[in-house]
Structure 1
Amino acid sequence: MIYLPGKTDKLEEQDVADNVEIATKKIASGPATESKSVEITEPRVRGVLNDFDMAVVLGPDGKPTTPSTGDHHITGTLPFMAGDLLMTPEDRAKFQLKYPTIPTYHLYRHDLESFFYILVWAATRYDLKKGCRLRLLPGSPLIGWSNTPNVLNTVQIKALTIPLMDRLENGILAEWKGLWVDWIQPLFLLFMEGLRFSQAAQTHGNIDDFTTGGGLLTFEKFMATIKVTPRNFDTKK
Structure 2
Amino acid sequence: MDSLKLTKDNHQGRVFRGLAIASPCYKKLWQAGSIENFKKVWLDCLHFHYLVFTKGKVLHRDISEHNLMVLEHPDGTVTGILSDWDTANFVDTEAQDGVCVRVTAGHHHRTGTPPFMALDLLHGRDRVHHPRHDLESFFYILIWAVFHYKFLHPTNGISKAALALPHEKLVAAWLGPPDQIYTAKVKLVMSVEGHDVFQALKMDSRSEAWADVVRTWIEPLHICIRDARSGAGDDRRMASNVVLAQRRQGKKDDVEGAGKGKLGTGYDDATYGGRLTYFRFMRAIGMTKTLETWDDPINFKEDKAILRAEKKEKLRKLLETDASDTD
Determine the structure 2 residue equivalent to 1:99. none
Determine the structure 2 residue equivalent to 1:226. 285
In structure 2, give the amino acid aligned to 1:206. Answer: L
The structure with the largest alpha-carbon Rg is 2
Task: Kindly state the Cα deviation for residue 213 of structure 1 after the two structures are TM-superposed.
Answer: 1.8
Count of paired positions: 204
Residues 73, 85 of structure 1: 8 Å contact kept: no
Determine the structure 2 residue equivalent to 1:206. 263
Determine the structure 1 residue equivalent to 2:60. 13
Distance change >3 Å, CA 4–CA 65, structure 1 → 2: farther
Task: Kindly state the Cα deviation for residue 158 of structure 1 after the two structures are TM-superposed.
Answer: 0.7
2: CA distance, partners of 1:153 / 1:209: 29
Deviations 1:183-211 (A, max 9, x none): 10000000000011222334432263432
Distance change >3 Å, CA 23–CA 169, structure 1 → 2: farther
Task: Kindly state the Cα deviation for residue 58 of structure 1 after the two structures are TM-superposed.
Answer: 1.1
Residues 81, 114 of structure 1: 8 Å contact kept: yes
Q: Does 1:123 align with 2:146?
A: yes
* Higher RCO (CA-CA < 8 Å; seq separation 6+): 1
2: CA distance, partners of 1:19 / 1:65: 25
In structure 1, runs of 5+ residues without a counterpart are: 27-38, 96-102
Task: Kindly state the Cα deviation for residue 236 of structure 1 after the two structures are TM-superposed.
Answer: 4.1
Distance change >3 Å, CA 58–CA 66, structure 1 → 2: same
1:31-50 pair list within 5 angstroms: 44-50=77-83
2:130 pairs with one of 102, 107, 128: 107
1:40-189 pair list within 5 angstroms: 44-60=77-93, 61=96, 62-65=101-104, 67-68=106-107, 72-87=108-123, 92=124, 104-129=127-152, 134=164, 136-137=166-167, 139-146=168-175, 148-149=176-177, 151-159=178-186, 160=189, 161-171=191-201, 173-189=207-223
2: CA distance, partners of 1:206 / 1:131: 50
In structure 1, give the amino acid aligned to 2:295. Answer: F
1:3 pairs with one of 30, 38, 47: 47
Task: Kindly state the Cα deviation for residue 134 of structure 1 after the two structures are TM-superposed.
Answer: 4.8
Give % identity. Answer: 28
Question: Matched residue of 2:194: which SS?
Answer: helix
In structure 1, give the amino acid aligned to 2:104. Answer: T
Deviates more, 1:75-84 or 1:209-218: 209-218
Task: Kindly state the Cα deviation for residue 132 of structure 1 after the two structures are TM-superposed.
Answer: 9.9
Task: Kindly state the Cα deviation for residue 174 of structure 1 after the two structures are TM-superposed.
Answer: 2.1
Task: Kindly state the Cα deviation for residue 120 of structure 1 after the two structures are TM-superposed.
Answer: 0.5
Question: Matched residue of 2:142: which SS?
Answer: helix
The two structures have a TM-score, normalised by structure 2, of 0.55
Task: Kindly state the Cα deviation for residue 131 of structure 1 after the two structures are TM-superposed.
Answer: 8.6
The two structures have a TM-score, normalised by structure 1, of 0.74
Task: Kindly state the Cα deviation for residue 45 of structure 1 after the two structures are TM-superposed.
Answer: 3.1
Task: Kindly state the Cα deviation for residue 66 of structure 1 after the two structures are TM-superposed.
Answer: 5.8
Distance change >3 Å, CA 133–CA 54, structure 1 → 2: farther
